[in-house]
Copies of this chain bind each other. A is one copy, B any other.
Amino acid sequence: STSSCEDLDRVSTLLQLCVDRQYVSPDQTNAELFQRGMSCVYGPLGTELRRNLLEQWWHSVTSSSAQVFGINTLSSSKDAAADGPGQLRIVESDYLKHIIEQQELSKEQLVQEVQALIHRSPSLRTDFLQGALEQFVPALELVNRKLPFGLAESGLCFQPSDGSGCPAEVTQTSLVWFCSPRTSSHWLDHWARQRLKWWRKFARSPSDFSSSDVPVEELEGAASRGVRISYSFPWGQEPLETLWSRGHAELLQTHKGVRSKLQYREGRKSVPHVVSVSGNMDRGVKAFLSNSLQQLMKQDGKQKLLRRKVLKLHPVLAPVKVALDIGRGATMELRQVCEGLLQEFMEAKIPVWPGYLETLPTSMEQLNAKYDEMGVLFTVVISDNTLESGLLQVRSRDTTIRETKHISEIKNFLSRYISAADNI
């Protein structure tokens, strides 16, 4: 069908743009990781986009009116209890080599030694849940045994290969929320609403982000209810974040059934319930890239039809807020003005692209097309006119309108624009 052709076209356009514009490093295997929603090698722009997304997540979770503490646990653990299927172990290859090179060992001895080595090798985490459950006890002291509260963490987790022989990395976010049993269902709904609102806040078309209850037959482990937040990619839905109402079984198991350690102030000997919220931020990056890509048909000066691609990333997510370029005029003097502005922007923590360093001459048209594909919010052009009158040109990605501003007001204009977008 035409529609699926268009979708395929959209997919390859998105991928090509991500590679061309330094969101994703150019490499076939790497592009596949990106497509699968795994952590991949990000170029400078992708790295900043992911940083911005993680920063927003962290701020929204730890600065909500609810009490949430950030923690940092280890990515590997020596806990033998974690000895289930699909375990990834960190094995020192020297040790393994040393064992199999021992000529005098019988086959049985060899097998025993290898088994012992596996057993004492640390395993890599697949999510943040276990770490948070372990930190529940010190955190409970911190809040004087008062519920509810949450523990937040973000970073790398590892996924078994599902038979391909190639384990993958995922940038995950995790909120583990501890509450009284009778409020756990309420909190699941609360966090599902909050999280969906968060995803939609940064979207160009918010309805592509949706949430739905997890069907009973797909409930995992101890979970009694689940909610999934998904993104509708051109090729189908993929989950971004999953919330589970998990009860208290895993918390009890982690603390070996010692209920006294787990009891909270108002609880009369009951054990807290756990609501977990875990997200895949690599897929989040992919969702926002896909969501923000706008393709427009446009006539150029010679009446030729051009396809214009714009990455309309939300102002707080856009990796580059402003590009600095020079127009007509004495290059040396204009560059000096750019250097000064660059410094000023950086001190104000406005991420800036030093386009004036480019040594290849390009037309303004080509430059704008490039910056639109990069998702750069504004392009500032310094010219002879700036040297004479202090006036410069500012072009907006979203309106494509060029305005004239005085050089003294440009920094405050950008700062105000970004913080206004942040506070919506």
Residues of A that sit less than 8 Å from B by CB: 22, 25-26, 39-44, 46-48, 50-51, 58-59, 63, 65, 67, 69-76, 78, 85-97, 100, 106-107, 110-111, 114-115, 118, 120-124, 131, 135, 138-139, 142-144, 146, 155-156, 158, 160-161, 165-167, 169, 265, 339, 342-343, 346-347, 349, 354, 357-360, 423
Docked pose: A121 CA to B97 CA in angstroms: 14
Given contacts A169-B76, A358-B144, whether A70 and B51 have CB atoms under 8 Å apart is: yes
Copies of this polypeptide in the complex: 2
Q: List 6 A-B contacts (CB under 8 A).
A: A86-B94, A88-B90, A88-B92, A94-B160, A97-B115, A146-B359
The answer to whether B360 touches A142, judged by C-beta atoms less than 8 angstroms apart, is no
Shortest CB-to-CB span from A340 to chain B, Å, is: 11
Docked pose: A120 CA to B26 CA in angstroms: 23
The answer to whether A96 touches B118, judged by C-beta atoms less than 8 angstroms apart, is yes
Contact of A143 (CB < 8 Å), options: B72, B342, B357: B357
Docked pose: A123 CA to B167 CA in angstroms: 11
**Majority SS at the chain A contact face:** mixed
The answer to whether A59 touches B349, judged by C-beta atoms less than 8 angstroms apart, is yes
The answer to whether B165 touches A342, judged by C-beta atoms less than 8 angstroms apart, is no
Closest to A131 in B: B41
With a CB–CB cut-off of 8 A, which chain B residues contact A95? 165
With a CB–CB cut-off of 8 A, which chain B residues contact A167? 76, 90, 92, 122
Docked pose: A320 CA to B106 CA in angstroms: 60
The answer to whether B65 touches A343, judged by C-beta atoms less than 8 angstroms apart, is yes
Residue of A43, A93, A165, A167 with most partner-chain B CB within 10 A: A93
Contact of A107 (CB < 8 Å), options: B43, B93, B106: B106
The answer to whether A71 touches B357, judged by C-beta atoms less than 8 angstroms apart, is no
Contact of A63 (CB < 8 Å), options: B93, B110, B346: B346
User: Given known contacts A26-B138, A90-B91, A347-B423, what 9 new A-B pairs fall within 8 Å (CB)?
Assistant: A25-B71, A42-B71, A43-B135, A44-B70, A44-B139, A50-B72, A96-B114, A107-B107, A110-B111
Shortest CB-to-CB span from A261 to chain B, Å, is: 13
Docked pose: A162 CA to B366 CA in angstroms: 55
Given contacts A78-B166, A156-B156, whether A43 and B138 have CB atoms under 8 Å apart is: yes
With a CB–CB cut-off of 8 A, which chain B residues contact A343? 65
The answer to whether B25 touches A43, judged by C-beta atoms less than 8 angstroms apart, is no
Contact of A22 (CB < 8 Å), options: B142, B155, B165, B359: B142
